[in-house]
Amino acid sequence: MSCIFCMIVDGAIPSKKAYEDDEILAFHDINPQAPVHILVIPKVHIPSVDGVTAENSAVVARIFEKIPQIAAAAGLANGYRVISNCGPDACQTVPHLHFHILGGRALTEQMA
Ligand code: AMP
Ligand code: ZN
């Protein structure tokens, strides 16, 4: 298996977990770009937003159900940003669908 996030799901690579259930894992980014930087992923391998289909989109809905709880548990009462980079122009570096939760300070208005 070559997908680093699948290896994190399997426990082959350690992570600092923020949330886990049967379908979803959230863990702290190894190179945080804000005081709180958490990645939320489906346990099933989906390469990117481009790989979301009618067959697998339920887990994406579940991720968005859980994001407010994960953010609240991380202390992000004053707001946060959710980002998913898709493809080379967006600088996606890990080809396993993930949503960045960024917060813990006032973020810049610029998104790109
Ligand atoms: P992206 O550039 O949107 O594909 O985001 C990939 C993110 O994964 C980056 O923010 C990396 O810092 C993060 N990352 C890569 N490897 C690990 C790891 N082993 N544990 C936690 N975060 C990681
Ligand atoms: Zn994967």
Number of domains forming the structure of the chain:
1
* Residues with CB in 5 Å of ion ligand 2: 3, 5-6, 45, 96
In a domain, residue 43? The reply is yes
In a domain, residue 109? The reply is no
Q: What is the pLDDT of residue 73?
A: 98
- DSSP strand pairing (36-42 vs 24-28): antiparallel
Task: Give distance in angstroms: CA of 49 to centre of ligand 2.
Answer: 13
Q: What is the pLDDT of residue 1?
A: 62
Q: Is 14 touching ligand 1 by the criterion CB < 6 Å? A: no
Q: What is the pLDDT of residue 100?
A: 98
Task: Give distance in angstroms: CA of 73 to centre of ligand 2.
Answer: 25
The CATH code of the domain that includes 57 is 3.30.428.10
Q: Is 41 touching ligand 1 by the criterion CB < 6 Å? A: no
In a domain, residue 20? The reply is yes
For residue 68, give the DSSP letter.
Answer: H
Q: Mean pLDDT by 10-residue block, N- to C-terminus, for the chain (112 residues)?
A: 94 98 98 98 98 98 98 98 98 98 97 92
**Coil, strand or helix at 66:** helix
Distance (Å) of CA 45 to CA 90, 96, 98, 106: 19, 6, 10, 32
Residues contacting residue 80 through CB under 8 Å, at least 6 positions apart: 36, 71, 101, 102, 103
Q: Scanning the structure block, which residue is given the tokens 């379908």?
A: 23
